[in-house]
Amino acid sequence: MSLLVTGSIGIDTINTPADSRKDCLGGSSIYFSMAASFFAPVRFVGVIGDDCPFDLQETFAGRDVDLTGLEERAGSKTFRWAGTYHGDMNQRTTDSCELNVLAEAPPKVPDVYRDSKFVFLANTTPALQLELLGQVDEPAFVAADTMNLWITDHRADLDKLLKKIDCLVLNDEEAKMLADKENLVKASELILKMGPGVVIIKKGEAGSLMAAGDDKFILPAFPAKQVIDPTGAGDSFAGGFMGYLAQQDSTNTRTLKKAIAYGTVVASFTIADFSLEGLTSTNINKINERLNTLKEMTSF
């Protein structure tokens, strides 16, 4: 089933206790698309400046990622982000952030994408997410990401968005902020009342919590022996999650749970190396092997 993603494409500079990388490929739509492509065809919507040093056709060569929705904007500069991870890498500081093309008008959804049934609105302002969603005709399942800045400074637009989506993906601190509750179970229940039928709260190395109606589901993260670079882990989780849903063309509770497991496993490959290297060095067989390991570890 058709899966559309819209989000950022970035030039990242990353510092971790393990090592550093300068000017590597990043961005929410990049990680999402690479992760989702293990399961389903991806329709990519994003914008770069004419300074972008990466050939995205080459990046996604051999993968079912349609780049018809990629816009290269003359005279604009590509989004840039630099960050440093500390200690066990659960804490991160942003060293610099240049929105560049992301501060301009969003890209247009191509007409051939308007019939997309599964849609992921990666992290950007809620107003832009609403604008992009309005360009899709009759999606069957829409998920969105958000962040603390939009919760505090763009709450009215975020509230509108929550009434139009089926699933919200956010981390534990964002969930507490959005619901004004410290308890994540209570927070998830309150967020459900804001509109989405499914809420997924990411808890880093502690795993994730899903609330869907009266159903709750908790899954730990895949135990990693070493974390090299956590950048893109959340977007890779979302890509694995949405990719599996699109592959199955289903969003029942059982499928949602398995999709979360796949998202968890795919993210575990992302954190094992810088940029996309952890994802490009794996394949669906290795992903399934790790999924079976996770299943054995969590069965009793």
Output the CA torsion sign for 170, 173, 177, 182.
positive
Predicted confidence band at 66 (pLDDT cuts at 50, 70, 90)?
Answer: very high
Inform me whether the pLDDT recorded for 90 exceeds 80. Answer: no
User: What value does the mean pLDDT of the chain take?
Assistant: 95
Tens of pLDDT along 187-226? 999 999 999 999 999 998 889 999 999 999 999 999 988 8
Tokens (6 digits) for 52: 């972008």
Q: Return the H-helix or E-strand segment holding 202.
A: strand 198-202
Mean pLDDT of 104-114: 94
Q: Which residues contact 107 (CB under 8 A, 6 or more apart)?
A: 6, 45, 46, 47, 69, 70, 71
Inform me whether the pLDDT recorded for 27 exceeds 90. Answer: yes
Q: Return the H-helix or E-strand segment holding 90.
A: none
Whether the pTM exceeds 0.85: the reply is yes
φ and ψ at 55, to 5 degrees? -95, 100
CA 201 to the chain's CA centroid: 12
Contact 271, 224 (CB under 8 A): yes
Counting beta carbons within 10 angstroms of the beta carbon of residue 266, is it exposed (0 to 12), middle (13 to 18) or buried (19 or more)? buried
Provide the pLDDT for residue 147.
86
φ and ψ at 277, to 5 degrees? -60, -35
Helix, coil or strand: residue 23: strand
Fold exhibited by the domain 3-298? UDP-N-acetylmuramoyl-L-alanine:D-glutamate ligase (3.40.1190)
Round to whole Å and give the CA distance between 94 and 53: 22
Q: Which residues contact 245 (CB under 8 A, 6 or more apart)?
A: 118, 141, 251, 255, 256, 259
Round to whole Å and give the CA distance between 258 and 218: 12
Q: Which residues contact 174 (CB under 8 A, 6 or more apart)?
A: 146, 147, 148, 151
Inform me whether the pLDDT recorded for 87 exceeds 90. Answer: no
Tens of pLDDT along 38-61? 999 999 999 999 999 999 999 999
Domain ranges of the chain: 3-298
